């Protein structure tokens, strides 16, 4: 009987140790089913604050769909549009500052930092590009509500 208890205790201790080691290896990404979307951002926190528009992706290395969204950003980069991927493990401070609870979160902000469109989760290139076009030139998209966040 004492042997069984000793074996059970040993198994529990080993399981706890293994869980602690696994947890330390890879930082957990932000989780949740979406949280509040920032209404305003400080453009000085992001790339090219002088650009009239910013498309920022809050992502995580551990997020499967983040890489797909990140691949859709480079074609948007121009003199008028700055693009930035804020990866969680590389820049936790920005994720915390803007209370990002789930990724991917893509924001489209104007020069003053007002968030004009946002997408939680994976987004198609067509929808993302159309939303950017619509906020830059209202009436240019056949779906003007794309990325709208009824703040």
Per-residue pLDDT of 52-103, as tens digits, reads 999 999 999 999 999 999 999 999 999 999 999 999 999 999 999 999 989 9
Domain membership of residue 25 (yes or no) is: no
Domain membership of residue 33 (yes or no) is: no
Q: Predicted confidence band at 32 (pLDDT cuts at 50, 70, 90)?
A: very low
Which range marks the domain in which residue 60 is found?
Answer: 43-136
CATH number at residue 103: 3.40.30.10
Domain membership of residue 1 (yes or no) is: no
Domain membership of residue 2 (yes or no) is: no
* Number of domains composing the chain: 1
Instruction: Specify the pTM.
Output: 0.74
Domain membership of residue 80 (yes or no) is: yes
Q: Where is pLDDT greater, at 41 or 30? A: 41
Mean pLDDT of 26-46: 72
Whether 83 contacts 77, CB under 8 Å = yes
Buried b (16+ CB within 10 A) or exposed e, 64-86: eebeebbebbeebeeeebbbbbb
Q: What is the pLDDT of residue 26?
A: 52
Domain membership of residue 48 (yes or no) is: yes
Q: Where is pLDDT greater, at 73 or 143? A: 73
Domain membership of residue 96 (yes or no) is: yes
- End-to-end CA gap in the chain: 63
Domain membership of residue 38 (yes or no) is: no
Q: Which positions ≥6 away from 95 have C-beta within 8 Å?
A: 30, 58, 86, 88
Q: What is the pLDDT of residue 25?
A: 59
Q: Encoding tokens for residue 113?
A: 């930092």
């Amino acid at each position: 009987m004492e042997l069984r208890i000793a074996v059970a205790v040993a198994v529990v201790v080993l399981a706890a140790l293994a869980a602690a080691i696994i947890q330390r290896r890879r930082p957990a990404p932000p989780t949740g089913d979406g949280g509040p979307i920032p209404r305003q951002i400080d453009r000085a926190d992001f790339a090219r604050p002088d650009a009239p528009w910013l498309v920022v992706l809050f992502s995580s290395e551990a997020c499967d769909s983040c890489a797909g969204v990140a691949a859709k950003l480079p074609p948007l980069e121009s003199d008028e549009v700055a693009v930035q991927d804020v990866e969680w493990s590389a820049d936790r401070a920005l994720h915390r500052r803007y209370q990002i609870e789930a990724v991917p979160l893509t924001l489209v902000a104007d020069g003053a930092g007002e968030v004009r469109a946002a997408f939680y989760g994976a987004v198609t290139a067509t929808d993302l590009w159309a939303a950017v076009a619509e906020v830059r030139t209202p009436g240019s998209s056949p779906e003007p509500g794309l990325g709208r966040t009824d703040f």
